[in-house]
C-alpha cells in the first residue's frame, strides 16, 4: 500500500510544471506535518517560499562582519542551505524573518544563489502563539544571543520597546536570557526616564 501510494505521488509530481510542483510539495509537507508526532517543532515542516514574500523585520540587532559574510556566502554556494530561514507568517502569504536575515539577503542579491534557489527560500514558521510583535522580538534575540552576536545599541532600543509594551524587568530577563544587571545596563544606555519609573531613588546629598 505504501509503495503504491509513493508511485502515485511520484507520477503526479512528474506531471506538474516546476512552480506547480513546488506548491504541491509544500501542500504535502503541510499535510504530513499536521499528522507528525513532532508537529510542535518548527523544523518539522520546511516550506519553499518565494523570496518576494519573505521580508526582514525592523528590529534585528544582529550584525555580520565582512569576513563572516563572505564565509556565509561561500558556505551557501558550496553546501547549500543547511538551515532554513525562521519566520512568522503575516497574512496568507507574507513571512517576517525572525532569524536568517543575512541568508535571505545573500539569496536575493547573489546571482549564483538566486539561480540555485529558483527565486525561493526554505522557510520554517514559528507556532501561531508566537506571532505577536513582542514575542517575535524575543525570539530574534534568543536566536542571536545563542550565537553570541548582537549590537548593544540595537539591543537597548528593543529593551526600551519591550518596557513600553508593558514587560517587566523580570519578564525581559527570563525571555531574553539576561540577568537583572544586564537588563538594567541596557535600560541605562537608552537613557529614558520612563524606563525607570518603577524604581525608587534615594534623595540627593547636599552640602551646607
Residue extents of the structural domains in the chain: 151-197
3-class SS at 54?
strand
* CA 81 from centroid of its chain's CA atoms: 15
C-alpha–C-alpha distance, residues 69 and 118, integer Å = 22
Per-residue pLDDT of the chain (208 residues; tens, 9 = 90+): 899 999 999 999 999 999 999 999 999 999 999 999 999 999 999 999 999 999 987 766 566 778 788 888 999 998 999 999 999 888 778 999 988 888 999 999 999 999 999 999 999 998 754 445 556 666 666 655 545 455 556 677 778 778 877 888 888 887 777 788 887 887 877 665 455 455 554 445 455 5
3-class SS at 34?
helix
For 13, the enclosing helix (H) or strand (E) is helix 2-14
Provide the whole-model pTM: 0.66
Q: Is 175 exposed, middle or buried (0-12, 13-18, 19+ CB in 10 A)?
A: middle
Q: What is the DSSP string of 97-149?
A: EEE-HHHHHHHHH-HHHHHHHTTEEEEEE--GGG-SHHHHHHHHHHHHHHTT-
Check residue 25 and report its DSSP letter.
H
C-alpha–C-alpha distance, residues 13 and 23, integer Å = 10
Check residue 82 and report its DSSP letter.
S
97 bridge partner residues? 87
C-alpha–C-alpha distance, residues 130 and 124, integer Å = 13
C-alpha–C-alpha distance, residues 54 and 183, integer Å = 31
Amino acid at each position: 500500500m505504501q509503495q503504491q501510494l509513493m508511485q502515485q505521488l511520484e507520477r503526479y509530481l512528474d506531471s506538474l510544471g516546476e512552480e506547480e510542483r513546488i506548491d504541491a510539495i509544500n501542500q504535502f509537507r503541510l499535510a504530513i506535518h499536521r499528522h507528525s508526532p513532532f508537529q510542535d517543532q518548527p523544523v518539522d515542516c520546511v516550506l519553499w517560499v518565494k523570496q518576494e514574500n519573505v521580508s526582514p523585520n525592523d528590529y534585528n540587532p544582529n550584525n555580520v562582519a565582512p569576513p563572516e559574510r563572505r564565509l556565509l556566502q561561500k558556505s551557501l554556494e558550496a553546501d547549500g542551505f543547511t538551515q532554513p530561514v525562521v519566520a512568522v507568517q503575516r497574512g496568507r502569504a507574507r513571512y517576517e524573518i525572525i532569524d536568517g536575515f543575512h541568508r535571505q539577503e545573500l539569496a536575493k542579491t547573489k546571482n549564483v544563489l538566486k539561480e540555485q534557489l529558483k527565486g525561493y527560500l526554505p522557510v520554517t514558521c514559528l507556532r501561531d502563539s508566537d506571532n505577536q510583535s513582542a514575542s517575535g522580538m524575543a525570539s530574534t534575540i534568543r536566536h542571536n544571543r545563542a550565537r553570541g552576536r548582537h549590537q548593544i545599541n540595537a539591543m537597548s532600543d528593543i529593551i526600551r520597546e519591550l518596557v513600553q509594551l508593558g514587560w517587566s524587568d523580570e519578564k525581559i530577563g527570563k525571555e531574553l536570557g539576561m540577568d537583572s544587571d544586564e537588563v538594567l545596563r541596557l535600560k541605562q544606555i537608552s537613557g529614558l526616564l520612563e524606563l525607570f519609573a518603577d524604581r525608587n531613588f534615594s534623595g540627593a546629598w547636599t552640602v551646607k
